[in-house]
Protein backbone atom coordinates (compact mmCIF):
# COMPACT_ATOMS: atom_id res chain seq x y z
CA UNK A 1 0.00 0.00 0.00
CA UNK A 2 1.44 3.44 -0.86
CA UNK A 3 2.78 5.65 1.91
CA UNK A 4 0.10 8.32 1.56
CA UNK A 5 -2.66 5.74 2.00
CA UNK A 6 -0.94 4.27 5.04
CA UNK A 7 -0.56 7.71 6.57
CA UNK A 8 -4.14 8.66 5.91
CA UNK A 9 -5.38 5.36 7.27
CA UNK A 10 -3.20 5.89 10.32
CA UNK A 11 -4.56 9.37 10.88
CA UNK A 12 -8.15 8.32 10.44
CA UNK A 13 -8.11 4.97 12.19
CA UNK A 14 -5.43 5.77 14.80
CA UNK A 15 -3.92 2.41 13.97
CA UNK A 16 -0.50 3.23 12.61
CA UNK A 17 1.29 3.32 15.96
CA UNK A 18 2.70 6.77 15.12
CA UNK A 19 1.78 9.94 16.95
CA UNK A 20 -1.09 11.76 15.25
CA UNK A 21 -2.10 15.41 15.42
CA UNK A 22 -5.49 17.08 15.68
CA UNK A 23 -7.32 20.11 17.06
CA UNK A 24 -9.88 20.40 19.83
CA UNK A 25 -11.72 23.20 18.01
CA UNK A 26 -13.06 22.77 14.46
CA UNK A 27 -11.05 24.59 11.80
CA UNK A 28 -13.83 24.55 9.20
CA UNK A 29 -16.37 27.34 9.72
CA UNK A 30 -19.86 25.75 9.94
CA UNK A 31 -21.46 29.10 9.06
CA UNK A 32 -19.43 29.45 5.85
CA UNK A 33 -19.23 25.94 4.36
CA UNK A 34 -16.81 25.23 1.54
CA UNK A 35 -17.90 22.84 -1.19
CA UNK A 36 -15.59 20.78 -3.39
CA UNK A 37 -17.50 18.14 -5.31
CA UNK A 38 -14.25 17.02 -6.94
CA UNK A 39 -13.83 14.99 -3.75
CA UNK A 40 -16.84 12.83 -4.56
CA UNK A 41 -16.11 9.28 -5.66
CA UNK A 42 -13.88 6.37 -4.73
CA UNK A 43 -10.12 6.87 -4.19
CA UNK A 44 -7.52 4.15 -4.03
CA UNK A 45 -3.78 3.73 -4.01
CA UNK A 46 -1.60 1.72 -6.33
CA UNK A 47 0.05 -1.60 -5.59
CA UNK A 48 2.87 -3.39 -7.38
CA UNK A 49 2.16 -6.83 -8.80
CA UNK A 50 3.70 -9.22 -11.29
CA UNK A 51 1.86 -9.73 -14.54
CA UNK A 52 1.16 -13.51 -14.64
CA UNK A 53 1.39 -13.51 -18.41
CA UNK A 54 4.67 -11.63 -18.85
CA UNK A 55 6.27 -11.68 -15.41
CA UNK A 56 6.74 -7.91 -15.66
CA UNK A 57 6.13 -5.71 -12.63
CA UNK A 58 3.03 -3.56 -13.11
CA UNK A 59 1.12 -1.05 -11.01
CA UNK A 60 -2.52 -1.86 -10.38
CA UNK A 61 -5.18 -0.12 -8.26
CA UNK A 62 -5.56 -1.48 -4.72
CA UNK A 63 -9.24 -2.35 -4.66
CA UNK A 64 -9.07 -3.89 -1.16
CA UNK A 65 -8.33 -0.60 0.61
CA UNK A 66 -10.01 2.59 -0.53
CA UNK A 67 -11.96 5.68 0.49
CA UNK A 68 -15.39 6.64 -0.77
CA UNK A 69 -16.52 10.26 -0.44
CA UNK A 70 -20.24 11.01 -0.68
CA UNK A 71 -22.46 13.95 0.17
CA UNK A 72 -23.42 13.98 3.84
CA UNK A 73 -26.68 12.09 4.22
CA UNK A 74 -27.75 13.74 7.45
CA UNK A 75 -26.71 17.35 6.88
CA UNK A 76 -27.06 19.95 4.17
CA UNK A 77 -23.30 20.60 4.18
CA UNK A 78 -20.18 18.50 4.34
CA UNK A 79 -19.28 15.05 3.10
CA UNK A 80 -19.00 11.52 4.45
CA UNK A 81 -15.74 9.62 3.98
CA UNK A 82 -15.97 5.85 4.28
CA UNK A 83 -12.65 4.07 4.84
CA UNK A 84 -13.09 0.54 3.49
CA UNK A 85 -10.82 -2.41 4.21
CA UNK A 86 -12.16 -5.42 2.32
CA UNK A 87 -9.54 -7.79 3.72
CA UNK A 88 -10.78 -7.18 7.27
CA UNK A 89 -14.37 -6.53 6.19
CA UNK A 90 -14.43 -3.17 7.98
CA UNK A 91 -15.78 0.26 7.10
CA UNK A 92 -15.28 3.36 9.24
CA UNK A 93 -16.99 6.65 8.50
CA UNK A 94 -15.89 10.24 9.05
CA UNK A 95 -17.55 13.61 8.70
CA UNK A 96 -15.49 15.63 6.21
CA UNK A 97 -15.55 19.39 5.73
CA UNK A 98 -13.27 21.18 3.29
CA UNK A 99 -11.91 24.56 4.39
CA UNK A 100 -9.35 27.02 3.13
CA UNK A 101 -6.22 28.50 4.66
CA UNK A 102 -5.19 31.37 2.41
CA UNK A 103 -4.90 29.85 -1.07
CA UNK A 104 -4.61 26.29 0.25
CA UNK A 105 -7.38 23.70 0.48
CA UNK A 106 -7.67 21.58 3.62
CA UNK A 107 -9.75 18.66 4.78
CA UNK A 108 -11.19 18.48 8.29
CA UNK A 109 -12.09 14.96 9.41
CA UNK A 110 -14.02 13.89 12.49
CA UNK A 111 -15.65 10.67 13.61
CA UNK A 112 -19.46 10.98 13.62
CA UNK A 113 -21.31 10.92 16.92
CA UNK A 114 -21.45 7.49 18.49
CA UNK A 115 -24.69 5.98 19.72
CA UNK A 116 -25.03 5.63 23.48
CA UNK A 117 -24.80 1.85 23.17
CA UNK A 118 -21.57 1.88 21.15
CA UNK A 119 -18.25 0.89 22.66
CA UNK A 120 -16.68 4.31 21.93
CA UNK A 121 -19.67 6.40 23.03
CA UNK A 122 -17.59 8.52 25.41
CA UNK A 123 -14.60 9.11 23.11
CA UNK A 124 -13.41 12.68 22.52
CA UNK A 125 -14.35 13.67 18.96
CA UNK A 126 -11.32 15.70 17.87
CA UNK A 127 -10.63 17.18 14.44
CA UNK A 128 -7.92 15.92 12.09
CA UNK A 129 -6.68 18.16 9.28
CA UNK A 130 -4.55 17.93 6.16
CA UNK A 131 -4.01 20.06 3.03
CA UNK A 132 -4.98 18.51 -0.29
CA UNK A 133 -4.96 19.09 -4.03
CA UNK A 134 -6.86 17.38 -6.83
CA UNK A 135 -5.45 17.32 -10.35
CA UNK A 136 -6.04 14.94 -13.28
CA UNK A 137 -8.06 12.50 -11.13
CA UNK A 138 -5.27 12.37 -8.55
CA UNK A 139 -5.74 13.33 -4.89
CA UNK A 140 -2.61 14.63 -3.16
CA UNK A 141 -2.77 14.77 0.66
CA UNK A 142 0.11 16.23 2.66
CA UNK A 143 1.21 15.48 6.21
CA UNK A 144 3.59 17.18 8.59
CA UNK A 145 6.00 15.40 10.96
CA UNK A 146 4.77 15.78 14.53
CA UNK A 147 8.13 17.03 15.79
CA UNK A 148 8.09 19.83 13.21
CA UNK A 149 4.55 20.80 14.19
CA UNK A 150 5.42 20.78 17.87
CA UNK A 151 8.53 22.94 17.42
CA UNK A 152 6.80 25.61 15.32
CA UNK A 153 3.69 25.60 17.52
CA UNK A 154 5.75 26.17 20.65
CA UNK A 155 7.46 29.14 19.00
CA UNK A 156 4.03 30.65 18.24
CA UNK A 157 2.59 29.94 21.72
CA UNK A 158 0.02 27.53 20.33
CA UNK A 159 -1.62 25.71 23.22
CA UNK A 160 -1.36 21.93 23.07
CA UNK A 161 -1.51 18.76 25.12
CA UNK A 162 0.29 15.57 24.24
CA UNK A 163 -0.33 11.89 24.86
CA UNK A 164 1.53 8.84 23.63
CA UNK A 165 -0.75 8.71 20.61
CA UNK A 166 -1.84 12.26 19.82
CA UNK A 167 -0.57 15.84 19.72
CA UNK A 168 -3.76 17.83 20.38
CA UNK A 169 -3.86 21.56 19.71
CA UNK A 170 -6.23 23.37 22.07
CA UNK A 171 -5.86 26.94 20.78
CA UNK A 172 -8.81 28.81 19.29
CA UNK A 173 -9.74 28.34 15.65
CA UNK A 174 -8.42 31.65 14.28
CA UNK A 175 -5.07 31.28 16.02
CA UNK A 176 -4.66 27.83 14.46
CA UNK A 177 -5.61 29.11 11.00
CA UNK A 178 -3.12 31.97 11.29
CA UNK A 179 -0.44 29.51 12.41
CA UNK A 180 -1.07 27.16 9.48
CA UNK A 181 -1.06 29.98 6.94
CA UNK A 182 2.17 31.47 8.31
CA UNK A 183 4.05 28.17 8.34
CA UNK A 184 2.41 26.40 5.40
CA UNK A 185 5.64 25.87 3.43
CA UNK A 186 7.54 24.68 6.50
CA UNK A 187 4.81 22.31 7.68
CA UNK A 188 3.82 20.85 4.33
CA UNK A 189 6.73 21.29 1.91
CA UNK A 190 6.12 18.17 -0.18
CA UNK A 191 2.85 19.06 -1.88
CA UNK A 192 2.56 17.04 -5.07
CA UNK A 193 5.79 15.22 -4.27
CA UNK A 194 3.67 12.91 -2.12
CA UNK A 195 2.29 9.78 -3.72
CA UNK A 196 -1.31 10.44 -4.76
CA UNK A 197 -4.52 8.51 -4.45
CA UNK A 198 -6.29 7.82 -7.73
CA UNK A 199 -9.93 8.23 -8.63
CA UNK A 200 -11.17 4.67 -9.15
CA UNK A 201 -13.69 5.77 -11.76
CA UNK A 202 -10.81 6.86 -13.99
CA UNK A 203 -9.53 3.26 -14.04
CA UNK A 204 -13.02 2.01 -14.89
CA UNK A 205 -13.20 4.48 -17.78
CA UNK A 206 -9.76 3.46 -19.05
CA UNK A 207 -10.79 -0.20 -18.93
CA UNK A 208 -13.90 0.56 -20.96
CA UNK A 209 -11.88 2.59 -23.47
CA UNK A 210 -9.34 -0.20 -23.86
CA UNK A 211 -12.07 -2.76 -24.42
Which of residues 188 and 114 earns the better pLDDT score? Answer: 188
Predicted pLDDT at 121: 38
Per-residue pLDDT of 154-169, as tens digits, reads 999 999 999 888 899 9
Determine the pLDDT at residue 205: 53
pLDDT at 192: 61
118 pLDDT more than 60: no
Q: What is the DSSP string of 27-79?
A: SS-TTS----GGG-EEEEEEEEEE-TTT--EEEEEEEEEEEEEEE-SSSSS-E
Amino acid sequence: MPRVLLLLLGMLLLASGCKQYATLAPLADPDQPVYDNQLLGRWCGMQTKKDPATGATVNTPDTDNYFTVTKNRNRKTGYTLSAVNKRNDTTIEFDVRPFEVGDHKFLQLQRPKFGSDEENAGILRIYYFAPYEIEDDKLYISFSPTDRLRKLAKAEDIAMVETKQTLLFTSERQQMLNFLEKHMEELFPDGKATEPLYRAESFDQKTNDDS
